[in-house]
Amino acid sequence: MEKQKVKQLIKSYQQTYIFAMTHIHQSISEISANTVDLSIEQFFVLREIAAYDGISATELAAALSVNKSAITPKLKRLVEKGYIRREKNHQDKRAVILTISEKGNSVYEECEKRLELLVNEWLEILGEEDSEHFFELFQKITNSVVQSKK
């Protein structure tokens, strides 16, 4: 691909990333201001634990592509807020698994609804056909680029 197109792609990605993260953060902050205190990073951690209830901190760090040391303070805050629990692994007494609490699940579901509404708004702007093309291309990027780097 020619250099100018690569530069345009990088700029477009940066603008889209900043736009998306800002709007996701605002959406979660609206919920946080009313009922919870949850950062976007904590939401992503909570989201992963909700999807893989019983996940270890090591598995969680790998799933989020961060060092375990980066995940530890976020886990601590989520435990303090009562959103997740650390429990002994029954198969390996030395290991700890992370589970989502009822309170955490409630917060997760509210944030997830807001996130889905936000993304649906964006997809409606694209229209059905472009949304489908976008989804297919995004899946292709995830499968061929992201998954190959894990």
Check whether 33 has a pLDDT greater than 60: no
**pLDDT tens-digit map of 101-116:** 999 999 899 889 988 9
- Would you tell me how many other CB atoms lie within 10 Å of the CB of residue 149? 6
State the residue for tokens 């700890």: 96
pLDDT at 74: 93
pLDDT at 147 over 80: no
Provide the 10 A C-beta neighbour count for residue 42: 23
Query: What local confidence, expressed as pLDDT, does residue 116 receive?
Result: 92
What is the per-residue burial (b if ≥16 Cβ within 10 Å, else e) of 60-78? Answer: bbebbeeeeeebeebbebb
pLDDT number for residue 47? 94
Q: In whole angstroms, how far apart are CA 117 and each of 65, 70, 110, 131?
A: 26, 30, 11, 15
Q: Is the pLDDT of residue 149 over 70?
A: no
Question: Topology of domain 3-149, per CATH?
Answer: Arc Repressor Mutant, subunit A (1.10.10)
Percent of the chain with pLDDT over 70: 93
- Give the residue with greater pLDDT, 38 vs 55: 55
Report the predicted TM-score, pTM, of the whole model to 2 decimal places.
Answer: 0.80
Beta-carbon contacts of 117 under 8 Å, excluding residues fewer than 6 positions away, are 27
pLDDT averaged over every residue in the chain: 88
Residue boundaries of the structural domains of the chain? 3-149
pLDDT confidence of 40, banded at 50, 70, 90?
confident
Phi-psi region of 5 (alpha: psi -120 to 50; beta: other; left: phi over 0): alpha
pLDDT at 71 over 80: yes
In the chain, the N- to C-terminal Cα span, in Å, equals 25
The model's confidence at residue 34, banded by pLDDT at 50, 70 and 90, is low
Classified as helix, coil or strand, 127 is: coil
